[in-house]
Amino acid sequence: MKRTDEPKLELPWVEKYRPRRLDDVVGNEETIERLKLIAKDGNMPHMIISGLPGIGKTTSIHCLAYELLGDDYYQQATLELNASDDRGIDVVRNRIKQFAQTKIKLPPGRHKIIILDEADSMTPGAQQALRRTMEIYSNTTRFAFACNQSSKIIEPLQSRCAILRYNKLADDQVLTRLLEVSAAENVKFNSEGLQALIFTAEGDMRQAINNLQSTVAGFGFVNDINVFKIVDQPHPLVIQRILIHCTKDRDIDRALALLDDLWAKGYSAIDIVTSTFKVSKTLPGIGEQKRLELIKEVGFVHMRVLEGVSSYLQLCGLYAKICDL
């Protein structure tokens, strides 16, 4: 006998509020309009959608497949393979080919859809093996590739596909969706908390919603302090004060005192340098030429830190050079 008191499984908000139709997808309006025309026409070409993580590439393909196939055929006529699946030559020869050969009765003009997520991580051999499969079964099956860099997909596949490029989402677009999710989940927040979520997400909708849910789960209230604790980044106001001490006051001692506080809290050199770069782009009260020189110095230190020289001395040297600009 099945128990009735089992706890109800709660979906992550990213999945719970994932768009089901193209009208619900945020951003990249021009490209979404092209997908809507394909959905209306019904004849989907092979396609590659490239762009940064978390901006709606895979979601758009699923929405397109849903609108083309409808409730009745969506589940049985789509195959999705992710980077987490084994996607070597054997999978292409067996699983993909087997799905392409399967006969499914679809409405006239509709095709089975194979979605290959993170396609740029497929081996070159597997990509080569796809070429012939795409040609042989093009009457019944269409391929959709989602990738971060389309240049990592071999030329023969690129030439067989329509390539759509997605840009990262604007801050106001991320804010609109965060407000919708917050209203649906009765989230308590203030404006500084939403600004912090947008600042840390950098155009990545998935990260923004995940950070929102994590902050609610951890603290119950979404403000800037709680958000930066959850994402484990230095608070940008502290970084801004360091830069103002360096650029305006030329006071290296006060700047290093604030740096010492961040270092004592356990923030790594890469965290501090990355936050310094983000804040320097919008630092008030400095000219364009000085801002470019400041970003150049941050870039050099960022490069050294990534090469492994992630020491406190590098950060002290960075802020000392900014004082000298």
Instruction: Specify whether 158 is located in the same domain as 23.
Output: yes
59-80 pLDDT tens trace: 999 999 999 998 888 889 999 9
- CATH number, domain of 73, equals 3.40.50.300
Instruction: Specify whether 60 is located in the same domain as 186.
Output: no
- Residue where a domain terminates, one of 165, 191, 223: 165
204 in a domain, yes or no?
yes
Instruction: Specify whether 31 is located in the same domain as 148.
Output: yes
Q: Are 133 and 97 in contact (CB under 8 A)?
A: yes
Instruction: Specify whether 209 is located in the same domain as 150.
Output: no
Q: Where are the beta strands (DSSP E) in the chain?
A: 47-50, 78-81, 112-117, 141-147, 162-165, 188-189, 221-222
233-248 pLDDT tens trace: 899 999 999 999 998 8
- CATH number, domain of 261, equals 1.20.272.10
How many domains does one find in the chain? 3
Instruction: Specify whether 86 is located in the same domain as 225.
Output: no
- Sheet holding 47-50: strands in order across? 78-81, 112-117, 141-147, 47-50, 162-165
Residue 94: domain span? 13-165
Q: What integer pLDDT is reported at residue 263 of this predicted model?
A: 92
- Residue where a domain terminates, one of 208, 231, 254: 231
pLDDT band at 84 (very low <50, low <70, confident <90, very high): low
Confidence (pTM): 0.84
Instruction: Specify whether 183 is located in the same domain as 160.
Output: no
- Residue where a domain terminates, one of 216, 231, 246: 231
Instruction: Specify whether 117 is located in the same domain as 204.
Output: no
Q: Are strands 78-81 and 162-165 parallel, antiparallel or unpaired?
A: unpaired
- CA dist 64 and 70 (Å) reads 10
- CATH number, domain of 189, equals 1.10.8.60
pLDDT band at 2 (very low <50, low <70, confident <90, very high): very low
8 in a domain, yes or no?
no
Instruction: Specify whether 132 is located in the same domain as 47.
Output: yes
Q: Does the pLDDT value for residue 6 go beyond 70?
A: no
